[in-house]
Structure 1
Amino acid sequence: MDLLGDLISGVLLLTGALFCLVAGIGLVRFPDTVSRLHAASKAQTLGLLLVVLGAVFQTPLGKTPALLLVGAFSLLTAPVTGHIVARIAYRTDAVERRRIVLDELAARLISERRPDDEGDPPSRP
């Protein structure tokens, strides 16, 4: 049974490390912010979860909840962080808009625009 657990753990750890490597290469090679965010949030999160799952097979049963919390917090924080960075990139024109197939945010931002948003900020008395 110990050999089977080591084998499963080894496969999970190596697969997770491979996903993390692919995510790192994607961060360097992809051309724009949205593509880089996709590599960072999807592949990196999956890689981390596989590494954590592989580590679960190697740790004592009492330490397993801490590892599972690491995976859970990663699942909760990666999408939120990616969403915030993507919106900032969109609003600061760091996104190649010609590559966006369906741009739902543009119409929403136009409808939410206040009259004082255009041009210079209002002067203070």
Structure 2
Amino acid sequence: MATIADWLGAGSLVAGALLSLAAGVGVLRFPDALSRMHAATKPQVLGVLLLLLGIALRLRTPTDLGMILLVAVFQLSTAPVAAQMIGRAAYRSGRLDRGLLDADELAERGPGSGSAGPA
């Protein structure tokens, strides 16, 4: 007999899988580095969190929930850092169209300046 939690878990698993699929398609199809970076972080993180929610609703044991929580925390803490590093590397290597940027705060620093603030 299926409970409401089982049905919600199944729905979360399907939604998470579809979002992760959309992220993969976006990484392959988007034209520039910034668009790919967006596709690799935003829907992918939400997809993984929905997958973890679905797994948590299906398993419901304390040790499994603790492990799922750790995976979610690491996912939420590493994805923004990875996106920042990818964006910075794309900017520094010139692999993006600067005309697509609304604001370019890094252009004011000039080439060769570090990431530290003013001395």
> Partner of 1:79 in structure 2?
80
Percent sequence identity over matched residues? 40
Q: How many residues align?
A: 113
Distance 1:66 1:113, change over 3 A: closer
TM-score, structure 2 length as denominator? Answer: 0.88
Shift >3 Å, 4+ stretches: 111-114
Secondary structure in structure 2 of the residue aligned to 1:70: helix
> Superposition RMSD on alpha carbons, in Å?
1.8
Name which one, 1 or 2, has greater alpha-carbon Rg. Answer: 1
Structure 2 regions of 5+ residues with no counterpart?
Answer: 115-119
TM-score, structure 1 length as denominator? Answer: 0.84
Structure 1 regions of 5+ residues with no counterpart?
Answer: 115-125
- 1:96 matches 2:97: yes
Measured against aligned partners, the alpha-carbon deviations of 1:65-121 in whole angstroms (never above 9, x if no partner) come to 1011101100000000110111011000011111111111111x328749xxxxxxx
> Partner of 1:12 in structure 2?
12
> Partner of 1:53 in structure 2?
53
- Find the aligned partners of 1:80 and 1:113 in 2 and give their Cα distance: 20
Distance 1:77 1:113, change over 3 A: closer
